[in-house]
Amino acid sequence: MASSLEVENEIADINMTPFVDIVLVILVIFMVTATFVTQGKIPLNLPQASSAEKQKEEQKPIVISLDKEGVFYYEDVAVEPDALEAKIAALESADRTIILRSDAQTPFEYVVKIIDTCKKYRITSFAIQTSDRR
């Protein structure tokens, strides 16, 4: 008979601490994720402006290339350095993007010359195109 009392006492003494810990962790996770879900969900009826500016059309970037002999290409057409400067000066917008393509053997002074010319006419957005060698 003593052995059946011991079995009942063991079952009655279940430790609830791990269960409470798990429930609290789940509660914290729920509270944190609930704040992320509600952010940015404020319903607003924005007013209309009569003099709103139209968003500018996305402009195609200008591609300037250099070969290893230092020949300049503006949109795949060979040009002299003075003609290149004139074409850059004639761009209608200073927020144009220039994609600079250069041969690996090109002297760096030519690249710097193009960048200086662009900065002279307030064009500061550049992308240097490279190849992926894997």
Tens of pLDDT, residue by residue over 12-35, are 667 788 889 999 999 999 888 877
Q: Strands 62-66, 97-102: parallel, antiparallel or unpaired by DSSP? A: parallel
The number of distinct structural domains making up the chain is 2
Q: Could you tell me if 27 and 71 lie in one domain?
A: no
- Domain residue limits at 25: 2-38
Model confidence at 4, in pLDDT bands (50, 70, 90)?
A: low
Q: Is residue 108 part of a domain?
A: yes
CATH number reported for the structural domain that contains residue 124 in this entry = 3.30.420.270
Q: Could you tell me if 67 and 124 lie in one domain?
A: yes
Phi-psi map region of 71: left, alpha, beta (phi>0 left; psi -120 to 50 alpha): beta
Sole residue written with tokens 């007013």:
47
Is 48's pLDDT higher than 80? no
User: What is the distance between the alpha carbons of residues 129 and 126, in angstroms, rounded to a whole number?
Assistant: 10
Q: Could you tell me if 70 and 125 lie in one domain?
A: yes
Out of 18-22, 79-83, 88-92, pick the least confident. Answer: 88-92
Q: Is residue 77 part of a domain?
A: yes
Q: Could you tell me if 32 and 80 lie in one domain?
A: no
- Give SS3 for 77: strand
Q: Is residue 118 part of a domain?
A: yes
Please compute, for residue 48, the number of CA atoms within 13 A of its CA located in the half-sphere on the CB side.
1
More confident residue, 91 or 45: 91
Burial grade of 114 (CB within 10 A; 0-12, 13-18, 19 or more): buried
Q: Could you tell me if 80 and 24 lie in one domain?
A: no
**DSSP letter string, 23-65:** HHHHHHHHHHHHHHHHTT-----PPP-TTPPPPPPPPPPEEEE
Give the per-residue pLDDT at 23.
Answer: 94
Give the per-residue pLDDT at 67.
Answer: 85
pTM confidence score:
0.53
Q: Is residue 113 part of a domain?
A: yes
